[in-house]
Structure 1
Amino acid sequence: MVTEWPHLILLFYEIAYVRQNLQALLYLFTDGITNKLIGCYVGNTMEDVVLVRIYGNKTELLVDRDEEVKSFRVLQAHGCAPQLYCTFNNGLCYEFIQGEALDPKHVCNPAIFRLIARQLAKIHAIHAHNGWIPKSNLWLKMGKYFSLIPTGFADEDINKRFLSDIPSSQILQEEMTWMKKILSNLGSPVVLCHNDLLCKNIIYNEKQGDVQFIDYEYSGYNYLAYDIGNHFNEFAGVSDVDYSLYPDRELQGQWLRSYLEAYKEYKGFGSEVTEKEVEILFIQVNQFALASHFFWGLWALIQAKYSTIEFDFLGYAIVRFNQYFKMKPEVTALKVPE
């Protein structure tokens, strides 16, 4: 179903008036830095809500919308995503998940992070159809992003900041070549991934004792360790990034053990996990966290050029690239145990 955005809102008002004779209300969520997210509901409480997501300016450069919908439907079929009601030219409409969108303070809580680890394992364990062996599109997508980054900005102050604080194109190209060579050979399985598991994309329902993930724009087949490493990076937050919140080795060990137990269970391999398995995944995850920093650094540079949303995308790109180069010597020194 394809529906134009203004007609969709009118449709909600019509349904509310004709079927329930109640006032239809709109609620604009403000947490997103890519799209506009609007909740449509009737009555005085947000109990029966339909979400409408309007794509941000030029986000078609960053997101394969057909792939997003395809992944959304697969995840929905396996009970890992809300119901998708319809799509339209510049957005989509889907079920609202009741609960609390998490903050960095929540994701280090053992009671919650074990639920997150288990839910991510459930997604990663989804079988590819018809015996198809999936391949990661990480390097292809990263290369595409690299081709889209700006070479400069019209604003003199912004351009000065860009030239002084962002690595040169040559350095970025060399780092991508290095990452592809090293990370592709770590042996991390390629699975269906969320690829954008920041805190606000995790909804915790305390009453039901579960978590659900939302926003599948960047979902697709990728390295298992990338998805986890990307999530660990997001412990630092988005608006006020603080990498001192990156999970320490002890917390990661607990998280990864919970994940592996659930992953093996979903795959039908039992649930016994060895210390060596945890250690190997720890190394893979922390090295793939480098690729996550790099990916979102490129993404932020493109957003700095095109986005109309009020956010310091250039500053965010600087933070991500700085953390990449800071983290690189430490995580590349990690060696897989014999």
Structure 2
Amino acid sequence: MAPVLSPPVISPSLTNISRQHSSASSQNLTDLLVGAAGASSSSVQLPDGPVEPVKAEGLRHARVNLLARHYKLPEFASQFLKIASTLRIFAWDDERIKPEHVVVRRVSGALTNAVFFVSCKKSSKIPTLLLRVYGPSSGSLISRPRELHILHKLSSEYRLGPRVYGTFENGRVEEYFDSATLTAEDIRDSVISRWIGARMAEFHSVDVSVVSPPSDVSDSGTFEASVKKCVSSWMKSAHEVFAISTMPREAAQELDLARFEKEWSIYLKWVSKVEDKTTGSAIVFGHNDAQYGNLLRLTNSVETDEHRQIIVVDFEYAGPNPAAYDIANHFHEWCADYHGATPHLLDPSRYPTFTQRRNFYTSYITHSNSLVKGAQDPVFDASDLDQLVASLDYQVRVWSPSSHAKWAIWGIIQARDDIENNVVEPEFDYIGYAKGRMAAFRQEILELGVIQR
């Protein structure tokens, strides 16, 4: 089960917003997107090993290490209580709480992360916490300091995402909320899809310069699309995987990284000519991995705004990106079923129809507008809304291939351990996943006229 985060609440700078009617004739989509920002496997061994401490300014830090594999032992509970005391976590810093009162439930465990729910059987008034213990990681795909920075800024500045109570030498403690992970079918539900659209609009409304770390700023002083940075920075690691002697030759030939690099360059040049930063290519703060496993629904929601039942989790890949990229990536996730017979394959027949996309867009656009300073519950003229929807839909098509490209390279890198260890039947077929995403990338740039057959 994915980590459970607290329900986002719009920041004080985005409350008390006056309201007005809006029309596309006087307000383009960029205003809607960034106006508010301007205003303000049980079989896997649990991770243990040397980890560089990850800290963030403004967060308390405990100089304590936790051994994930010892989570059933009293000493683990004892060490956790030291952490809770140092971080001054409400109710948990009570000296009357003893190790025997602590209940630790393992939620997930992998080589790079172990997640636990920690509760106290002494009193139901003591809140359950989410405990994340880091394991050794190469850092070739994600940056823990960057992720922590984003989480802390989102929660402290905008009250979006989880509250991070603090860090310890090899992990962090987060807020827990009772919820259920959405399923592959849930995200296709028209009501839930509208909620997701509204949620995405909230994330896209934050000030990128506040949430993203300074490292996201390019030499020119602007925020570059993170999908471009990811593909560029990941290529070296992908080539290293191809250099492994046990890398399947047929797969290497099909993926053909040299060909991909040429295609990617041609594609980016094409994008620069057709992107429209007034409709969907404006750089916003994107989650960039809005798959159903990263979307939760509160079990006992008391939110007055229905869409706030949806909780967005896991920000490893979050960062500056065109709004249309984040939406395009989400639509591709409609085609995935990570719990089906072929979890590594996307089913293109499940891609949302225009009617389904319009349902999402309408919620996204109207909610974006409601976040703009001075906006009221938006009432769009039908033709104006149609124009905004059509423009955004085209920009989503423009950025759609880049989602395939990014995850194709990601899949190659993730396959490294399986390839090095000659795993014949991996738990997840990363190479098969990469091949599928690469084929989709090439098919889409062909259909868009970026390249000729």
Q: Could you tell me which residue of structure 1 aligns to residue 80 of structure 2?
A: 12
Aligned pair 1:99/2:190, yes or no? no
1:267 aligned residue (363, 372, 390): 372
Aligned pair 1:148/2:148, yes or no? no
Aligned pair 1:60/2:139, yes or no? yes
Aligned pair 1:36/2:152, yes or no? no
Identity over aligned residues, as a percent?
22
2:294 aligned residue (197, 201, 214): 201
Report the TM-score when normalising by structure 1. 0.85
Q: Secondary structure at the match of 1:236?
A: coil
d(CA) in 2 for partners of 1:293 and 1:331?
14
Q: Could you tell me which residue of structure 2 aligns to residue 279 of structure 1?
A: 390
Q: CA deviation at 1:60?
A: 1.0
Aligned pair 1:219/2:307, yes or no? no
Aligned pair 1:305/2:416, yes or no? yes
Q: CA deviation at 1:290?
A: 1.0
What letter matches 1:174 in structure 2? Answer: K
Q: CA deviation at 1:109?
A: 0.6
Q: Could you tell me which residue of structure 2 aligns to residue 237 of structure 1?
A: 336
- In 2 relative to 1, CA 80–173 (structure 1 residues): closer, same or farther, beyond 3 Å? same
Q: Could you tell me which residue of structure 2 aligns to residue 314 of structure 1?
A: 431
5+ residue gaps, structure 1, are 334-338
d(CA) in 2 for partners of 1:224 and 1:98?
29
d(CA) in 1 for partners of 2:399 and 2:295?
21
1:255 aligned residue (360, 365, 379): 360
Q: Secondary structure at the match of 1:121?
A: helix
1:253-275 CA deviation, whole Å, 9 max, x = no partner? 11011101111111235533521
d(CA) in 2 for partners of 1:33 and 1:248?
38
Q: Secondary structure at the match of 1:19?
A: coil
d(CA) in 1 for partners of 2:248 and 2:158?
46
Q: Secondary structure at the match of 1:192?
A: strand
Aligned pair 1:159/2:221, yes or no? no
1:161-207 CA deviation, whole Å, 9 max, x = no partner? 422432x1221111221232223441210011111111111111254
Q: CA deviation at 1:322?
A: 1.8
- In 2 relative to 1, CA 59–286 (structure 1 residues): closer, same or farther, beyond 3 Å? farther
Q: Could you tell me which residue of structure 2 aligns to residue 24 of structure 1?
A: 103
Q: Secondary structure at the match of 1:60?
A: coil
| Number of matched pairs | 327
5+ residue gaps, structure 2, are 1-60, 68-74, 85-91, 211-220
User: Does the CA-based 8 Å contact 1:80-1:212 persist in structure 2?
Assistant: no
Report the TM-score when normalising by structure 2. 0.65
d(CA) in 2 for partners of 1:70 and 1:194?
14
d(CA) in 2 for partners of 1:37 and 1:229?
29
d(CA) in 2 for partners of 1:323 and 1:79?
37
- In 2 relative to 1, CA 28–161 (structure 1 residues): closer, same or farther, beyond 3 Å? farther
d(CA) in 2 for partners of 1:56 and 1:243?
35
User: Does the CA-based 8 Å contact 2:181-2:297 persist in structure 1?
Assistant: yes
d(CA) in 1 for partners of 2:390 and 2:416?
40
Question: 5 Å matches for 1:288-299?
Answer: 288-299=399-410
User: Does the CA-based 8 Å contact 1:283-1:331 persist in structure 2?
Assistant: no
1:32-52 CA deviation, whole Å, 9 max, x = no partner? 89743332333499x943223
Q: CA deviation at 1:128?
A: 4.0
The one of the two structures with greater contact order (alpha-carbon pairs below 8 A, sep at least 6) is: 2
Q: Could you tell me which residue of structure 1 aligns to residue 47 of structure 2?
A: none
Q: Secondary structure at the match of 1:36?
A: strand
1:260-302 CA deviation, whole Å, 9 max, x = no partner? 1111111235533521111111111122121111101101111
What letter matches 2:177 in structure 1? Answer: I
User: Does the CA-based 8 Å contact 1:97-1:203 persist in structure 2?
Assistant: no
User: Does the CA-based 8 Å contact 2:208-2:320 persist in structure 1?
Assistant: no
d(CA) in 1 for partners of 2:184 and 2:111?
17
- In 2 relative to 1, CA 244–43 (structure 1 residues): closer, same or farther, beyond 3 Å? farther
Radius of gyration: which is bigger? 2
